[in-house]
Chains A and B, each alone.
Chain A
């Protein structure tokens, strides 16, 4: 028996079919984008409504599928998140017109929206369906086509959700190929597509490695990193309300949102109060031995124990060997001194909230800042009434959103606050990202600005923005770049338009350099 037979491995090398198909999906997306970029605002809104409706219809179904496939989270909470990315998300952006040109007679400027084209989006396993819904909506509203690459652990539900939206979009008049999802994602595939000159922008939500890879790809990227949100509970806070917020936030979808609080920091004078309030809100406060057990269970030699991601408090307590009431919502290990090295101060995508206390506000700020560095640029929560301290806290913290007296999971992601609803939380410069806001459709459009001289006599007030756009509902191709009829044949040099291939560009540059050198001789 040969080695082949023994292993039943293919006798021939086989090309990566999934990669080929993904490249063709990008091609399709480019076609779709070409037509869609000329769609009118009513046509865009019609498609957005259609995917909102379709998404809403199957929000619960996909929530169930997602939990089944990934083992993360809580079905009802996932359904809420999925739903939040349908009509609610659309309503938030409904009045943000990214389609109609803007005329500003006072500043003598006209602005024309130019969609990116093809968006390549990386979705995490933690919020698979909500992310698909959300990114598809962003693409539709900004007149871009999108190809999504789901996390392998959530690919079935992600593909199903994307196809569902794609069908709804097409039925509402969208070009085919506007919303697509890679069926068999892999790291080489994602790297290949990210580096491809056929995509126009990457939205990367996921682990640090993925986000760094997106930024290293050579393509424009909106990458957002992981969080490690800290909630500071000031003595000026109503402790019971604060505790309820924390428990609600940590138990929501078993803390799977990257905006969930990892650490609750208060002042020593307030710690007893906080423990009592958390307990009555449904949390289990761990004694020293339980805290150690939890630390050992959650943090292995290879980092955070992935088995615990998105699991319930009771499930985790059982695995960690802690006796709790079955109705417990959150586990609270207590680390008395806010040192830097305790593993329990790191990000925890599960309903475990580390409680610690500082001697005074100064020490609290120092500790908070250090904690937030792991998860820099992300989110934090402030509980209390003291505005001066809130401002000092927000000024010092390397985060781009501080939510006040609300659950951070939901609040920082724009649910229950006026922050934009988002599953891509910009971690900005502090988090080595290009965007510090909650990512929205406006980030996928750039504007061509027509600017007159300040003292030009031009009066733009009679310009009708709607009439400027070459909008077509049906998306008929509007051939562009056609040379005027009587133009002489393009001279050979000009006709050889620059190629898209980077390799060729490199060659051309080398050739040019060589010819220059020859000129020297």
Chain B
């Protein structure tokens, strides 16, 4: 019996049945068939516990949402302290938490002027795209093929058509897609002089973290400026120290006109996202401050947590830990690749953002399953299933990192077996 006080379920099977009935039959079916039928029950640190009691080390982190692990004690303390004083607040008015948090964010990116809040990544992207349109008085938005910026009205149109067509939300006349790592293709579009912005994830997560070619992002930024467009960095997965620096663009020598962050900004406890903009783009905040409204965007509890997340990420001990974790997996994965070169063929890495390539079009699905069976949860890249997203948290300790590597190694024979089966079926 799973009695949660507010609701209860007789068993995991009972839960799955109800979830399929009332919530989302497609997702329930998908994970069951994938062999990773996880229903997260308890969660603590970098551990997840399935309803069956099985423990999993979380290397998915929901894209960095659990950068600090689950229910980090210090963040929980902040959240509880916040609940003794704040609530969501009233988005109409200035507030202490919003003022303090926006200042903290802007100070982390000194060429920026304002921070505008949303509740989720897609909303921040929405604000970014609207801001660019305001600044340029142009409509067209360019993004990369297989880019991912969320599923709201404008953001979903920047992404893969799998997610837009089904809702008739694709808008080919206003949203143009160009190949990643191809600056010429971008220039060909920009040249027409009607582009408001080029939006790109600093390292495209859902596409399996392909690394930008040397100079590619800087060239894109320069091209945007050359043709009067704005350069938007989507830092939802690459921000918050995940690439070894606070914001991914810092590591590439960029100065985006606008950038967005979300996920881990709320410490995994309270949803909050932000769009940072230069003074030049953010003019609408003076012209009509209420032009964009969001009741839950910038909720004060979220601002309090976000403020503390930023503070924690700025601590020298945390920064040093990120580097240790990054270094460990750089060396560890090189070794793993040498040992399992028949299936494990490539590592893409920057900081604690890793994409592991396997030699099969759906290789990462099999590896994800093999890892799951060995107590590790890491997800494949939705838009490139050869690549496993491998996302260690920023405060992982040495023993757990070693355990992850040991479990990874132990999972490879099983992955090999699953892949063999897939090849035979094919």
A interface residues, Cβ below 8 angstroms from B = 11-15, 17, 20-21, 24-25, 27-28, 30-31, 34, 176-177, 198, 476-477, 479-483, 485-490, 492, 495-497, 500
* Inter-chain contacts of A488 with B (CB < 8 A): 413
Do A483 and B409 contact each other (CB < 8 Å), given the known contacts A24-B318, A489-B414, A496-B55? yes
Q: Could you tell me the distance in whole angstroms from the C-beta of A12 to the nearest C-beta in chain B?
A: 5
* B398 touches A (CB below 8 Å): yes
Q: Could you tell me the distance in whole angstroms from the C-beta of B58 to the nearest C-beta in chain A?
A: 15
Contact B375 A495 (CB under 8 A): yes
* Inter-chain contacts of A176 with B (CB < 8 A): 320, 323
Contact A25 B374 (CB under 8 A): no
Contact B402 A24 (CB under 8 A): no
Contact B317 A30 (CB under 8 A): no
Contact B324 A12 (CB under 8 A): no
Contact B317 A482 (CB under 8 A): no
Contact A477 B397 (CB under 8 A): no
Q: What 10 A-B pairs have minimum CB-CB distances, sorted nearest first? A: A24-B317, A13-B81, A31-B324, A15-B77, A489-B414, A12-B81, A30-B398, A15-B74, A490-B410, A31-B398
> Of all chain B residues, which has the CB nearest A489?
B414
* Inter-chain contacts of B335 with A (CB < 8 A): 479
Do A480 and B320 contact each other (CB < 8 Å), given the known contacts A489-B374, A490-B410, A495-B375? no
Assembly CA distance A323 to B153 (angstroms) = 89
Assembly CA distance A482 to B55 (angstroms) = 20
Assembly CA distance A479 to B323 (angstroms) = 17
Assembly CA distance A497 to B77 (angstroms) = 29
**Pairs A–B under 8 Å by Cβ, sample size 28:** A11-B85, A12-B85, A13-B77, A13-B80, A13-B84, A20-B312, A20-B315, A21-B317, A24-B321, A27-B398, A28-B317, A31-B321, A176-B320, A198-B397, A476-B331, A477-B331, A477-B332, A480-B402, A482-B406, A483-B409, A483-B410, A485-B339, A489-B413, A489-B414, A490-B410, A492-B54, A492-B373, A495-B410
Assembly CA distance A481 to B399 (angstroms) = 11
Indicate which residue in A28, A177, A481, A492 contacts B406 across the interface (CB closer than 8 Å): A481
> Of all chain A residues, which has the CB nearest B408?
A482
B interface residues, Cβ below 8 angstroms from A = 54-55, 74, 77-78, 80-82, 84-85, 304, 311-312, 315, 317-318, 320-321, 323-324, 327-328, 331-332, 335, 339-340, 370, 373-375, 395, 397-399, 402-403, 405-407, 409-414
Contact B403 A497 (CB under 8 A): yes
Assembly CA distance A20 to B316 (angstroms) = 12
Indicate which residue in B311, B321, B332, B412 contacts A479 across the interface (CB closer than 8 Å): B332
Q: Could you tell me the distance in whole angstroms from the C-beta of B256 to the nearest C-beta in chain A?
A: 30
Contact A489 B332 (CB under 8 A): no
Assembly CA distance A488 to B80 (angstroms) = 46
Contact B413 A28 (CB under 8 A): no
* Inter-chain contacts of B55 with A (CB < 8 A): 496
> Of all chain A residues, which has the CB nearest B328?
A477
* Inter-chain contacts of A28 with B (CB < 8 A): 317, 320-321, 324
Assembly CA distance A489 to B407 (angstroms) = 9
Do A27 and B331 contact each other (CB < 8 Å), given the known contacts A176-B320, A487-B410? no
Contact A489 B318 (CB under 8 A): no
* Inter-chain contacts of B311 with A (CB < 8 A): 17
Contact B81 A14 (CB under 8 A): yes
Assembly CA distance A500 to B399 (angstroms) = 9
> Of all chain A residues, which has the CB nearest B396?
A27
Do A489 and B78 contact each other (CB < 8 Å), given the known contacts A24-B395, A31-B398, A479-B332? no
* Inter-chain contacts of A477 with B (CB < 8 A): 327-328, 331-332
Choose among A11, A495, A500 the residue with the greatest number of B CB atoms under 10 Å from its CB: A495
Q: Could you tell me the distance in whole angstroms from the C-beta of B95 to the nearest C-beta in chain A?
A: 14
Assembly CA distance A176 to B317 (angstroms) = 10
* Inter-chain contacts of A487 with B (CB < 8 A): 410, 413
* Inter-chain contacts of B318 with A (CB < 8 A): 24
Assembly CA distance A198 to B400 (angstroms) = 12
Assembly CA distance A177 to B324 (angstroms) = 10
The majority secondary structure among interface residues of chain B is helix
* Inter-chain contacts of B80 with A (CB < 8 A): 13
Contact B413 A486 (CB under 8 A): yes
Assembly CA distance A495 to B414 (angstroms) = 14
> Of all chain B residues, which has the CB nearest A486?
B413
> Of all chain A residues, which has the CB nearest B317?
A24
Indicate which residue in A30, A198, A479, A490 contacts B405 across the interface (CB closer than 8 Å): A479
Q: Could you tell me the distance in whole angstroms from the C-beta of B163 to the nearest C-beta in chain A?
A: 35
Do A12 and B374 contact each other (CB < 8 Å), given the known contacts A27-B317, A177-B320, A490-B410? no
Assembly CA distance A483 to B410 (angstroms) = 6
* Inter-chain contacts of B407 with A (CB < 8 A): 490, 495
Assembly CA distance A477 to B328 (angstroms) = 7
* Inter-chain contacts of B413 with A (CB < 8 A): 485-489
* Inter-chain contacts of B410 with A (CB < 8 A): 483, 487, 489-490, 495
* Inter-chain contacts of A486 with B (CB < 8 A): 413
* Inter-chain contacts of A27 with B (CB < 8 A): 317, 321, 395, 397-398
* Inter-chain contacts of B85 with A (CB < 8 A): 11-12
Assembly CA distance A122 to B406 (angstroms) = 35
> Of all chain B residues, which has the CB nearest A22?
B317
Assembly CA distance A481 to B405 (angstroms) = 9
Assembly CA distance A359 to B53 (angstroms) = 76
Contact B411 A481 (CB under 8 A): no
Assembly CA distance A468 to B229 (angstroms) = 63
Q: Could you tell me the distance in whole angstroms from the C-beta of A4 to the nearest C-beta in chain B?
A: 10
* Inter-chain contacts of A492 with B (CB < 8 A): 54, 373, 375
* Inter-chain contacts of B312 with A (CB < 8 A): 20
* Inter-chain contacts of A12 with B (CB < 8 A): 81-82, 84-85, 304
* Inter-chain contacts of B315 with A (CB < 8 A): 20-21, 24
Assembly CA distance A497 to B400 (angstroms) = 11
Q: Could you tell me the distance in whole angstroms from the C-beta of A492 to the nearest C-beta in chain B?
A: 7
Known contacts A13-B80, A14-B81, A15-B74, then 15 further A-B pairs from the complex at CB < 8 Å, ordered by chain A residue:
A13-B77, A15-B81, A24-B317, A25-B317, A27-B397, A28-B324, A30-B397, A30-B399, A31-B398, A34-B398, A176-B320, A177-B320, A489-B370, A492-B375, A495-B375
Q: Could you tell me the distance in whole angstroms from the C-beta of A18 to the nearest C-beta in chain B?
A: 11
Q: Could you tell me the distance in whole angstroms from the C-beta of B119 to the nearest C-beta in chain A?
A: 22
Q: Could you tell me the distance in whole angstroms from the C-beta of A115 to the nearest C-beta in chain B?
A: 14
Q: Could you tell me the distance in whole angstroms from the C-beta of B327 to the nearest C-beta in chain A?
A: 8
Assembly CA distance A374 to B299 (angstroms) = 61
Q: Could you tell me the distance in whole angstroms from the C-beta of B394 to the nearest C-beta in chain A?
A: 10
Q: Could you tell me the distance in whole angstroms from the C-beta of B249 to the nearest C-beta in chain A?
A: 25
Q: Could you tell me the distance in whole angstroms from the C-beta of A28 to the nearest C-beta in chain B?
A: 5
Q: Could you tell me the distance in whole angstroms from the C-beta of A360 to the nearest C-beta in chain B?
A: 62
Q: Could you tell me the distance in whole angstroms from the C-beta of A239 to the nearest C-beta in chain B?
A: 57
Assembly CA distance A14 to B82 (angstroms) = 9
Assembly CA distance A176 to B375 (angstroms) = 31
* Inter-chain contacts of B398 with A (CB < 8 A): 27, 30-31, 34
* Inter-chain contacts of A496 with B (CB < 8 A): 55, 375
Assembly CA distance A501 to B219 (angstroms) = 49
* Inter-chain contacts of B78 with A (CB < 8 A): 15
Assembly CA distance A14 to B312 (angstroms) = 13
Assembly CA distance A28 to B320 (angstroms) = 7
Assembly CA distance A497 to B55 (angstroms) = 10
* Inter-chain contacts of A479 with B (CB < 8 A): 331-332, 335, 402, 405
> Of all chain A residues, which has the CB nearest B370?
A489
> Of all chain A residues, which has the CB nearest B47?
A499
